[in-house]
Structure 1
Amino acid sequence: MTTPADRLRALLAQPRLHTMPCAYDALSAKLIEQAGFDLTFMTGFGASASRIGAPDLGLMSYGEVLDQARNIAGAISMPLIADGDTGYGNAMNVRRTVQGMANAGCAAVMIEDQLAPKRCGHTPGKAVVGREEAYDRIRAAVDAREEGQDILILARTDARHDHGLNEALTRAQKFRELGADIIFVEAPRSEAEMREVCAATDAPNMANIVEGGETPDLPPEALEEIGYRIAAYPLSLMASAMQAMMQTLAEMKVGQPRSNLMDFMELRRRIGFDDYYEASERYATSARPVTGAREGS
């Protein structure tokens, strides 16, 4: 049986773009897989919002993020890329983060060069550490992989924001030299910059498409032509889910019928009730309610 990392390597070896809706919890990941996508990413923005009801500003701890990743990986069979933020400390913490995500069943983990506490890549106030600290983070992540963790390293730089594209490309090239498997230069601001990003290294590159963000929201065929191997959509599902929930709440507030609801039978099926009942038929005591039991027995 292939590992999650093996399945991701096979996807990246294909000379095409993989559209990657991002999950914020186990249920959203299941829906992505049911819709026929090949892989997903645990969005830090969405995980923070859904788990603690707070913005992605470094408020979630390593333990909380690891638990969220483990729950998502356990609910799907497709590869999951986890958001490892800054690694939650120094280089030794980065090693532990990589080890933890591998043990949780993740196919890859993203490590970035922001100052801690990190911020969402398309929000104000983010800054990056110096080059050597950034390189140490990726060096530590790669060391953890090379010492037996079956996981890919996605190296991210946010240097474009404060230091310009050239600095971001310099870091990306060094990350690849150090052994990163996937490169992510956050927030290029034009198609021309996106082309420079993809030409800078021989690594698979990931585009991060945030609706209303700084990077052009190009169609998949254009992203593929530019040279991207993965197109991540970190907020699309959460934004659509929140919009639908707000609509339903507004209708309930004024006593209107709830519109645009998933049919109850389909909801049960997608969550997994039908699969559970089918599997439980193998076990007589699990397939039917207990009868004849006396209190205290």
Structure 2
Amino acid sequence: MTPPDRLRALLDQERLLVMPCCFDPLSAKLIEQAGFPLTFMSGFAASAARIGEPDLGLMSYAEVADQARAIADAVSIPLIGDGDTGYGNAMNVRRTVRGFARAGCAAVMIEDQKAPKRCGHTPGKEVVDREEAFDRIRAAADARASDDILILARTDARHEHGLAEAIDRAHRFHELGADILFVEAPKTASEMRTICAELPGPKMANIVEGGETPALSHAELQDIGFSIAAYPLTLLAAAMQAMTRALGQLACDAPRDGLMDFAELRRRIGFDAYYEESETYRSSARAR
């Protein structure tokens, strides 16, 4: 099946899909090796990993698309790409959606923030007016006509305009063709229940450790009605914590504990699989 078809099949199972988010091909491979059925390229984490800068619209479309292409090529599970605001007007949104489809993404997220966008759990974010937001999703759906990809439509209107406005926008996104709806940063479990009760189709929850949305259990999220639970910063935060700890130990010439065994490191990166496959060709050469 194509990546979009694999994602559709997962959504048809009507169970919560726990989705750790990646930032590069290696983190995506680890997610797949751990048995998770899909992943999302977090804009926050990818910006930190690729350019060492905060997620404030500093990565260009070309950089984001290139990162998505490298990740999609490294794994077989469906990848959802972060298309931010679409990088311009509605015509830019069309190009962004087509580019993410050709990069191998199963879905692309398009949001209604003003550019430059901000992380959904940081101060200062603003959204465009309704008609511009709707034009973005309409353009995304139109682009899908030539390149198969699912549309994940995100609204950040809860922050400025309240939950009712966010839900109204998401309703319209669904009518315009969005496949998955994402109301960012609800502040209580009650708001999360309202989102799932009032909106049609698959909904995504975004669980940022230390963020504004309650970090409910998987069972609670499924009971409320979410189809996907995204964890955008779990791996980045864990990796940064481990690296700063190891650097501190190295600086004071202390033993480096907590490191992955070298043999497992090689296996997870793919050395063992490479050598095994290369032997097949070496045997063929010897036979000739």
Shared fold (TM-score, shorter chain, > 0.5)? yes
Cα drift, residue 150 of structure 1:
1.1
Corresponding residue for residue 58 of structure 2: 59
How far apart in 2 are the matches of 1:200 and 1:181? 16
How far apart in 2 are the matches of 1:80 and 1:240? 21
What are the ranges of 5 or more consecutive residues in structure 2 without an aligned counterpart?
Answer: none
Corresponding residue for residue 189 of structure 1: 187
How many pairs were matched up? 286
What is the identity, as a one-letter code, of the residue corresponding to 2:152? L
Q: For residue 283 of structure 1, give the secondary structure of its aligned residue in structure 2.
A: helix
Cα drift, residue 283 of structure 1:
2.0
How far apart in 2 are the matches of 1:272 and 1:284? 18
Check whether the contact 1:33–1:78 (CA below 8 A) recurs between aligned residues. yes
Corresponding residue for residue 10 of structure 1: 9
Change (3 A) 1:159 1:287: farther
Cα drift, residue 280 of structure 1:
0.7
What is the identity, as a one-letter code, of the residue corresponding to 2:135? D
**Superposed CA offset, 1:169-226 (max 9, x none):** 0100000011100000000000110011112222100000000100000000000000
Cα drift, residue 15 of structure 1:
1.5
Q: Higher Cα Rg: structure 1 or 2? A: 1
What is the identity, as a one-letter code, of the residue corresponding to 1:45? F
What is the identity, as a one-letter code, of the residue corresponding to 1:52? I
TM normalised by structure 1 equals 0.95
What is the identity, as a one-letter code, of the residue corresponding to 1:159? A
Corresponding residue for residue 164 of structure 2: 166
**Superposed CA offset, 1:125-183 (max 9, x none):** 100000000000000000011x2211000000000001100110010000001110000
Corresponding residue for residue 26 of structure 1: 25
What is the identity, as a one-letter code, of the residue corresponding to 1:216? P
TM normalised by structure 2 equals 0.98
**Superposed CA offset, 1:17-60 (max 9, x none):** 01000001000000000000000000000000000000000000
How far apart in 1 are the matches of 2:111 and 2:119? 11
Q: CA RMSD in A?
A: 1.3
How far apart in 2 are the matches of 1:98 and 1:221? 33
Pick the aligned partner of 1:178 from 176, 179, 200: 176
How far apart in 2 are the matches of 1:196 and 1:15? 19
How far apart in 1 are the matches of 2:92 and 2:284? 44
How far apart in 1 are the matches of 2:162 and 2:284? 61
What is the identity, as a one-letter code, of the residue corresponding to 1:41? F
In the alignment, structure 1 residue 242 sits paired with structure 2 residue 240: yes
How far apart in 1 are the matches of 2:114 and 2:284? 51
Check whether the contact 2:171–2:200 (CA below 8 A) recurs between aligned residues. no
Corresponding residue for residue 291 of structure 1: none
Corresponding residue for residue 205 of structure 2: 207
Cα drift, residue 284 of structure 1:
2.4
How far apart in 2 are the matches of 1:5 and 1:167? 30
Q: How do residues 20-99 of structure 1 correspond to structure 2 at under 5 angstroms? A: 20-99=19-98
Cα drift, residue 286 of structure 1:
11
Corresponding residue for residue 257 of structure 1: 255
Structure 1 stretches of 4+ moved >6 Å? 285-288
Corresponding residue for residue 127 of structure 1: 126
**Superposed CA offset, 1:91-110 (max 9, x none):** 00000000000000000000
Change (3 A) 1:200 1:286: farther
How far apart in 2 are the matches of 1:142 and 1:278? 43
What is the identity, as a one-letter code, of the residue corresponding to 1:261? L
